[in-house]
Amino acid sequence: MLSGEHFYHATIKRVVSVFGTLFNNITIGRHSGDKISNIQKVPISYGPREKFISRMNKDLDGNKIAIKLPRMSFEITSIEYDTSTKLNKLNTTITTGTNNSPRTRNKMYQSVPYTIGMQLNILARNQEDALQILEQIVPTFSPEYTVTIKDIEGPGSKTDVPFILNGVSFDDTYEGDYQGRRTLTYTLDFTIRARFAPNINKNVSIIKKVETEIADFTNVATTAARPMSTINVSQDSPAGPITTFVSLIDPADVHTVDLVYKNVSLSGINPLNRITGISIASGATADFDRVEDEDFTSSLSNLTGTSSSVGVGAQFSAIIDGLTGATTSVSISNRGEAYVATETITISDAPYNNTNLVLTVDSIFDGTGDEPEGAINTFSVTSGNGNNTDVAATFNPVFTRTGLTTEPVLNSPNDSPGLHGREARIAITLDKAGAITGATLENGGYDYNTAQQIKLGPVRLGETAATFFLDNLVTTGGTGSGAQLSLILNGQDGSLSDIGVFEPGSGYTVGDDLTVAGNLIGENSPGESAPSTDLVVNVDSIDESGGVVTVSAISGAVGDADRVDAKQFEYDSPFTNLVLNITSTNSVPISGTFQKSGSQNNKPKYTNTTSSNVQIAYNGRWELLQDTEVLATNTNDSPLYNIPFTDWIVLGRDTESLVFTTTENVEFTLGETIQGNISSGEASIVTSANSRITVNNLEQAYVEDELITGESGTIRTVFRTILAP
């Protein structure tokens, strides 16, 4: 029924909105001589509204008044057919087609005139407020005021819409008893001449050619009416007879069409031997060093306890050290009631069931404020907050390390000499003790063999570096003063790895012995197990002011566990590798498909420039696929961009030959007719070269990605069309 197609021009909504705009900037004030007070803009709104929206944002506990005055409101009162402005219903409006094609237009039939009745109401309490509003409105309408509104008769249309003020009435209920309220309302009735537009017929084809035969009825008496195929025009016309009256095919309508080859096959790259499966062989056992820098802070909430008196309802939250189980702080989440100062609260629920957490109430609220009487104000922890294995057991985090590059285990089973595999990356998960709970493959790398082993070093697993640095070490001894040294110590055993001068000082002589006190390099720390050992060095060379330039160690350079112990949880040993077995690899040769999905248009080419660097010249976007897996992509759109093979295929294969094949290597021939598969456009070839054709007599512009087929059977894909200037 009717058109069957959805359309909506929002005519009434636009009229309502424009009507509101006419009156939304009216200012009034209270005049008393030259003084004008209470200067304000009068609020206006469209009266009808959803009831719940008008009520839901009301603050029920806020200050209440009846209403804010003065104010205006308006609403639609009628919508009636306007017989006085009817136009021929077969009139049409023609605009440029939605698809911007030179061959199509949008067509819309005559809009239908209606009058919309609109009522503007002014509510005031003060008579002069209402009169000021009224007297600022009335002079504008004589009796109509015309506004040009956009788009109500289709996109791009401009319609003059008269707003006619029919009259003003008012209601003033000032009589009666004193209990009743006086309501002062002015009502202004408007008529708006609007037009409702029908649906737009989009992209209607233009009649391009008309041929007419005119019958000569003057000779009916002698012969049957016969068609007259030619007419002669006597003035301002070409000399010859006109046989075709209209031809809308413009010879200037020349299109250039860029074409592409799609789905060019690639083959010939040797298999990559990527890892596809791994399993843990060793090294997964707990090593706290791997996770020592993690955050072990955790929390417990909704803790309730038993009062030593009658208090009830208090709830607490605790911050705990997930490693030791010590309770580091307690906060209150519900202050409860009926507590008294100095009473104790014993929390005995798990995980405090073996060692109870005992709190003491320090102060309470007295009930005069928002808090009830006996609500806990302040409290302190009395006992039970020390190390607690039950509490520690509640914290079971999973730590994750990702993007860990592996190293091959040399001489493991199936390890290929000189080709041990590269670039495999894995991710691991650890528990809080540093045990490795899982290992997953992130990138399979290449050149691996099944049953070969790979490993992750301790630093990659989370252990800190194997050396530590000490600066600013003050020295004693020698003939000068002010020399300071820098040391690098082995993180495993505390032995001296390297030594340097941090501050040269002055006044030294070659051969001086300088001493760095043992406590500066970690000796004398609590729990030390070996005698304190100082580091003594010899001054080997000095500058002209006696500043130390080079030194060498005399004693104290050997390993000393005390130095390492001083950095507990940072440099303890031993380091442990995680070793993984390769359980499967992928050895399928690469033979994929280049797909073009971007701009520009050239045939794919390849150039084997050297034995080690294959280059591909293709100015477009590329994907290299293996089955459905994307092996590499190139998003560079610059024309004639030479893509080094190693730039976009990071897998390291750089000595292979490539073979590109395509069956779509036939060019169109001059004069050939081509036909699109989407646009139904038909045209003939004017020129054809290098993946670009120029056509004329084009029925309809081709669209991107459409296939076009020539008379010869050649099929190519349209990249873009360019209308000749």
Q: Which residues here bind another protein, judged by CB under 8 A?
A: 14, 17-18, 20-21, 24-25, 27, 29-41, 43-47, 49, 51, 54-55, 57-58, 61-71, 73, 75, 121, 123, 125-129, 147-151, 158, 177-179, 181
Cβ–Cβ under 8 Å, residues 152 and 113 = no
Cβ–Cβ under 8 Å, residues 404 and 428 = yes
Alpha-carbon 445 to chain mean position: 30
Min CB(112)–another protein separation in Å: 20
Cβ–Cβ under 8 Å, residues 594 and 266 = yes
How far from 678 is each of 672, 700, 705, CA to CA, in Å?
Answer: 19, 10, 9
Alpha carbon distance 3, 202 (integer Å): 13
**What are the residues whose beta carbons fall under 8 Å from the beta carbon of 95, sequence distance 6 or more?**
105, 106, 108, 154, 155, 156
Query: Could you tell me which of 415, 409, 472, 477 has the C-alpha nearest to residue 448?
Result: 415
Query: Could you tell me which of 69, 66, 65 has the C-alpha nearest to residue 40?
Result: 69
Closer to another protein by Cβ: residue 39 or 207: 39
Closer to another protein by Cβ: residue 6 or 64: 64
Closer to another protein by Cβ: residue 34 or 135: 34
Min CB(37)–another protein separation in Å: 4
Closer to another protein by Cβ: residue 45 or 98: 45
Closer to another protein by Cβ: residue 137 or 269: 137
Min CB(39)–another protein separation in Å: 4
Closer to another protein by Cβ: residue 49 or 86: 49
Alpha-carbon 380 to chain mean position: 47
Alpha carbon distance 131, 668 (integer Å): 81
Q: Which stretches of 433-493 are assigned E, i.e. beta strand?
A: 436-443, 453-456, 467-474, 484-490
Map residue 461 onto helix, strand or coil.
Answer: helix
Alpha carbon distance 465, 385 (integer Å): 35
Min CB(52)–another protein separation in Å: 10
Min CB(198)–another protein separation in Å: 20
The H-or-E segment that residue 20 falls in is: helix 11-22
How far from 574 is each of 252, 408, 458, CA to CA, in Å?
Answer: 84, 21, 9
Alpha carbon distance 594, 267 (integer Å): 10
Min CB(504)–another protein separation in Å: 52
Closer to another protein by Cβ: residue 50 or 629: 50
Min CB(89)–another protein separation in Å: 25
Alpha carbon distance 669, 672 (integer Å): 6
DSSP state of 43: P
Alpha carbon distance 122, 66 (integer Å): 17
Min CB(131)–another protein separation in Å: 8
Closer to another protein by Cβ: residue 66 or 252: 66
Alpha carbon distance 42, 26 (integer Å): 6
Min CB(291)–another protein separation in Å: 42
Q: Which stretches of 175-237 are assigned E, i.e. beta strand?
A: 184-196, 200-205, 209-210, 214-215, 227-228
Min CB(20)–another protein separation in Å: 4
Alpha carbon distance 231, 173 (integer Å): 83
Closer to another protein by Cβ: residue 54 or 243: 54
**What are the residues whose beta carbons fall under 8 Å from the beta carbon of 6, sequence distance 6 or more?**
none
Min CB(161)–another protein separation in Å: 10
CA-only gyration radius of the chain, Å: 46
Cβ–Cβ under 8 Å, residues 448 and 459 = no
Closer to another protein by Cβ: residue 123 or 625: 123
Closer to another protein by Cβ: residue 134 or 715: 134
Closer to another protein by Cβ: residue 6 or 68: 68
Cβ–Cβ under 8 Å, residues 543 and 482 = no
Neighbours of 708 (CB within 10 A): 24
Measured over the CA atoms of residue 56, residue 57, residue 61 and residue 62, the dihedral's sign is negative
Closer to another protein by Cβ: residue 71 or 262: 71
DSSP state of 56: H
Q: Which stretches of 517-636 are assigned E, i.e. beta strand?
A: 535-542, 548-555, 578-586, 593-594, 605-608, 614-617, 622-626, 629-634
Cβ–Cβ under 8 Å, residues 398 and 437 = yes
Closer to another protein by Cβ: residue 29 or 457: 29
Closer to another protein by Cβ: residue 73 or 691: 73
Min CB(195)–another protein separation in Å: 15
Closer to another protein by Cβ: residue 157 or 377: 157
Closer to another protein by Cβ: residue 153 or 565: 153
Count of alpha carbons within 13 angstroms of residue 639, beta-carbon side: 3
Min CB(111)–another protein separation in Å: 16
How far from 603 is each of 271, 627, 662, CA to CA, in Å?
Answer: 26, 23, 10
Would you state the structure tokens that stand for residue 718, as one six-digit string? Answer: 């349209």
Alpha-carbon 126 to chain mean position: 55
Min CB(368)–another protein separation in Å: 18
Min CB(109)–another protein separation in Å: 23
Min CB(168)–another protein separation in Å: 16
Min CB(115)–another protein separation in Å: 19
Measured over the CA atoms of residue 335, residue 338, residue 340 and residue 344, the dihedral's sign is negative
